[in-house]
Chains A and B, each alone.
Chain A
Amino acid sequence: MLQFKEHSVTQIHDNLFEISATGGMHKPARVYASEAMFQSLLEEKEPLQQVINVAHLPGIEKYSLAMPDIHWGYGFPIGGVAATDWQDGVISPGGVGYDINCGVRLASTALTRENIGNRMNSLIEELFKTIPTGVGSSDAIKKLNKNELKAVLKGGVSWIIGQGYGSAEDAEYTEEKGRMEGADPDVISERALERGQSQMGTLGSGNHFLEVDVVDRIFDAPAAQKLGLFENQIVILIHTGSRGLGYQICDDYLKVMGKAAQRYHIKLPDRQLASAPIQSPEGQNYFAAMAAAANFAWSNRQVIMSLAKRVFKRTLGVSEDDLNFNLVYDVSHNIAKKEVHRVDGKEKTLCVHRKGATRAFPPDHPLIPEKYRSIGQPVLIPGDMGRYSFICLGTEKAAEETFASTCHGAGRLMSRNQALKMAQGRDLFKEMSGRGVIVRAKGKGTLAEEMPHAYKDVADVVNIMHNSGISTKVVRLKPLGVIKG
C-alpha cells in the first residue's frame, strides 16, 4: 500500500491510482498515471495535494480526478476534472482557469505533403503575417464595437460565421455548436469588454500556436476515414483561447468568489478554489460570464481558421474545391459545463469543471455531430512543436469513469528559465528546421521556452488514456510549420 501524507493510496490498475478521502475531503481522488509518473507526483507533492484539495469542494461527485498530464496549477491542478451537483454543488473559477475555453481546433485539407512541395516557407511566412501573434496581439480583423462584441459573446460561432468567417456547417463541428447557453455580456466588466474588442482572430503568446501538420500515422483506419483523415494529408491545428477577455473575467470573478465563499461559509484549503453555490447569484453570474468568454474563444478560433484558409488559397493558388478545407472538430480544455452523467446508476445534472482536460463523449452521445456519432467524440491532444500531436476518440469507459473527460496535452517538464538555459548558444530555428519544422515566433525567447525538450512526450500521456480505455488513438500528426507568439 502506497501512502501520500495521511492518505492511503491504492493502485486500481496499471495506470490508475486512488487516494483515500480523509479530513475535509468529500470524495476520494483518482489519478491516471503510469507507475513512474505517479512516483514523480508523490515526490513533487504539490499537484497531488491540489487534486486532494479539489475533493473538498461542496457537492463534488464520485472523485476528484487528474489526467496524466497533471501539473501544478492554481487551486485546481492542470489536468484536473471535478463534477459538482448542479442544484446543491458549487462552481469555481479556479476549476476553469484564466484562459477560459482555451482549446484546440483541427481543420483538414485535400492536400498532401507533395502538393505543398517547397512552398512551406512562404505558407508559414504568410500565416505569420496574417494572424497576429504575441503579447497583446490585436487587429486581425476590424476592431469590434461594443454591440458587435456583445453579439459574439451571446451568439458565439454562428454570429461570427455570419460576418463572413467560415461556413454555416462549421458550427456543427464545434463543441457545444460554438455557443454556450446562458451567456450574458451584462455581467462582464468594462475592462474585460475592452480587452475583447481588438483581440478577435489573434493567437496570443505562450504555448498558443497555429501548426501546419501532416498525418503521419494511422492507428484506427475506419475512424480516420470517418473523420476525413488520411495518411500524408495536410491539416491545420490551432491552439488558443479567449485571450485578455477571459483572463479579466477570471480575475474579476476570483475576487467575487473569494467574498462569496465567506458569505456562504464554504471552507476550502486554498484561496484559488474560491467558489459559490451554482444556484447563488454569484454562481449564476460567473457561469454567464464564463459562457460568454467561451463563445468568444470558439469564435476566435473560427476567425483564425478562416484567415488561415484564405492564406492557403492565396499562397498555394488552389481553388476552393481543390483545397477542400473542412473543420474536423473544435474542443475546449478549460471550461465548466452543465452536463448529464450517470452517478450511482442514476442520471444527474452536473457542473463538470475541466481545467486542462478535454471532453470525451462516447459513441452515440446525442451532443456529438451526427457524422461522428457512431465512433465517439473527436479529442484533439496537441504535443510540443517538434514531435507530434494525437487525434483520439471518447469512449463509454470515459463516460463511466471520468465524466467523459481525458487528457489535453503534453504538460511542461521544465520551467521557462530552465528551458532558456538549455537553449543558450544553440540555433534553435536551425535545429527545428533540421527536424523538418519551420518555425516563426514573435516574442524574444518564445522559441527557447517552447522547445520540445521543455515538454513531456505527449505519446506517454496519450498512451495512458488509450491503455485505460478512456480515449483511443486514431491518428498521429507531425508538425511541418508552426507560428507562435
Chain B
Amino acid sequence: MNGYIELEHTADIGLQVWGEDLPELFFQAAGGYYALALVHAPRPGQNWQNFTLEEDNLEDLLVAFLGELNYHLMVKSEYFYPLESIQILPIHSGYRMNYRGKRGLLEKSKNQIKMEIKAVTYHQLEIRKENGHYSTKIIFDL
C-alpha cells in the first residue's frame, strides 16, 4: 500500500504514510508534505537538481529530507516536483539518500502556501516494517 493521510492534532498537524519500500515511503511523505503546505499541487518544475543526505538512522534521514523540502519552500519559495530516483543505501555511519527533483518557484503574490510549517518533529516518529510494507507517522510543528 502506498499513500498518506492527514492526522488530526490539536495544535499542529501530522501525516500517516505508507510505502512498499523505503524510497516509496519517502516519496509519499514528500507528497503529503506538499499537500499540507500548498494550496494546490505543485506544477512540474523546470530543472533537475540532485541531492544527497546522510544521517545516522532512517528516522533522522526522513526528518532531514522533509526538513530540506520545508526550508526550500518556506524560505526560498522553491519546490522540487516531481521527485524521482530516490535511493536509500546503508552506509558505515548510517544511511545515505540520493534523489533528484525538478526545481519550481512559487509566485509569492499568489499566496500559494496554505500553512506555515515551522519544522518536522521527531515526536513519536518511528519507521516500521510490517508484512513487507513500511509505515510511519510524522508530526509537523505549525
Contacts and interface: CB of A to CB of B under 8 A. Distances in A.
B115 A254 contact: no
A73 B113 contact: no
A79 to B, nearest CB: 11
Interface in A71-109: 71-75, 78, 98-99
Bin the interface of chain A by size. 35 or more
Interface stretch (B18-26, B79-87, B118-126): B118-126
Interface string B105-142: 00010010111101101110100000000000001011
Given A194-B75, A205-B115, 20 more contacts: A71-B10, A74-B123, A75-B123, A98-B119, A134-B111, A135-B74, A135-B113, A136-B108, A204-B116, A206-B142, A247-B119, A254-B122, A255-B60, A259-B56, A271-B122, A271-B123, A272-B123, A415-B9, A417-B6, A443-B111
Contact of B67 (A134, A244, A251, A418): A251
B97 to A, nearest CB: 16
A98 B116 contact: no
Nearest to A270: B123
A250 interface: yes
Interface in A156-186: none
Contact of A78 (B11, B39, B111, B122): B11
B111 A442 contact: yes
A202 to B, nearest CB: 12
B114 A444 contact: yes
A443 B115 CA distance: 8
Contacts of B118: 98-99, 247
Nearest to B39: A444
A442 B39 CA distance: 14
A414 B75 CA distance: 28
B11 A251 contact: no
**Quick one: which of A205, A259, A413 has the most chain B CB within 10 A?**
A205
Nearest to B37: A135
Interface in B37-96: 39, 56, 59-60, 67, 71, 74-75, 77
A444 B116 CA distance: 11
Contacts of B141: 74, 98, 247
A271 B25 CA distance: 21
A135 B75 contact: no
Contacts of A418: 8
A248 to B, nearest CB: 8
Given A98-B141, A255-B60, A195 B75 contact: yes
B13 interface: yes
Contacts of B10: 71-72, 412-415
**For chain B, what secondary structure do more than half of its interface residues adopt (helix, strand, loop), or is it mixed?**
loop
A228 interface: no
A125 B11 CA distance: 29
Contacts of A271: 59, 122-123, 125
A477 B111 CA distance: 32
A445 interface: yes
Interface string A246-285: 0110110011001100000000001110100000000000
A206 B117 CA distance: 10
A229 B136 CA distance: 52
Given A204-B116, A205-B116, A251-B67, A71 B11 contact: yes
9 contacts: A98-B141, A136-B108, A206-B142, A255-B60, A259-B56, A272-B121, A415-B8, A415-B9, A443-B114
Nearest to B125: A271
A416 interface: yes
Interface in A331-356: none
A443 B142 CA distance: 14
Nearest to A442: B111
Nearest to B6: A417
Contacts of B8: 415, 417-418
A258 B122 CA distance: 10
B39 A206 contact: no
A271 B119 CA distance: 15
Nearest to A445: B114
Given A206-B142, A244-B75, A271-B122, A136 B11 contact: no
A271 B13 CA distance: 18
A259 B142 CA distance: 25
B116 A135 contact: yes
Contacts of B125: 271
Interface string A441-473: 011110000000000000000000000000000
Contacts of B11: 71-73, 78, 412, 415
B9 A72 contact: yes
A103 to B, nearest CB: 16
A191 B116 CA distance: 17
Nearest to B75: A195
A258 B116 CA distance: 25
A376 interface: no
Contact of B119 (A73, A250, A417): A250
Given A194-B75, A254-B122, A416 B116 contact: no
A485 interface: yes
A205 B113 CA distance: 11
B5 to A, nearest CB: 12
B9 A206 contact: no
B115 A136 contact: no
A191 B8 CA distance: 30
A443 B113 CA distance: 8
The 10 closest A-B pairs by CB, nearest first: A135-B116, A271-B122, A205-B116, A247-B118, A74-B123, A135-B113, A415-B8, A98-B118, A74-B121, A98-B141
